[in-house]
Amino acid sequence: MNHDIYGILLVDKPQNYTSHDIVNIIRKKTKVEKVGHCGTLDPMATGLLVVLLGRYTKKQDEFSKQMKIYDGKIIFGKSTDTWDLEGKIISESDISALKEDKIKDAINILSGHINQVIPPYSATKFNGMALYKMARKKMNIPVLMKSVFVNWLKYKISLPYLEFSIKCSSGTYIRSIANTIGEITGFPSCLAELRRKAVGEFEVENAVSLNYIENSNLHDIFSKIIL
């Protein structure tokens, strides 16, 4: 084991990998015993994953509380059980009557300090059980709320899509924003794409790819570690 290796490794997570997958790959490759990350990305999402190695894993709470920036797309006309395109479609609707003003009104409502519903397919626990496990077992899922801060940096309406860039507080569920916009406008919607661009001062442009980690020697990988 590389007990003397510690610091921060910025990784650009590809689609169809869990955050835990990335941690396991890095742990296996580097032989560093303690590896963790700051802020889960859903398998569908790509972008910046801040990975902590060695004694820096003790700083997990500190880094996890940083503001985050996401780019993404919301699609109108369909909603799913997971609130993104990975899930099972539960409603579809013609959106020819959807007006841009309704979307803009919804964006204004979902700006600043808001209370959002935690998605039923999430790792948040209720009575010791993760909500996604409850959902898979067809159990009654409680409506859990959390307070977050959302700043829409920019957006573009090009129906059926709403493209956006959002800066938000730690723990914000972009899937929840995507679903709630549909509820406010009266037209079903869900998250179509998501990419995390930044966590605090760290930016995805400075991250290494998973391919780099898997195909580089340890010296080159360790040279990318930030202290």
Candidates 4, 12, 21, 42; catalytic one:
42
Closest CA to 119 of 185, 174, 63, 54: 174
Given a contact cutoff of 8 angstroms between Cβ atoms, the answer to whether 139 and 130 are in contact is no
The reply to whether 101 belongs to the active site is: no
DSSP-assigned letter for residue 33: S
Conformational region of residue 190, where left means phi above 0, alpha means psi within -120 to 50, and beta covers everything else? beta
DSSP state of 222: H
How far, in Å, CA of 108 to CA of 106, rounded? Answer: 5
Residues 176 and 147 sit within 8 Å (Cβ to Cβ): no
Torsion of CA 78, 83, 89, 95, to 10 degrees: 0
> Who contacts 38 (Cβ-Cβ below 8 Å, separation ≥6)?
49, 50, 51, 52, 60, 63, 64, 66, 199
Buried b (16+ CB within 10 A) or exposed e, 95-119: beebeeeebeebbeebeeebebbbb
Active-site residues, by number, are 42
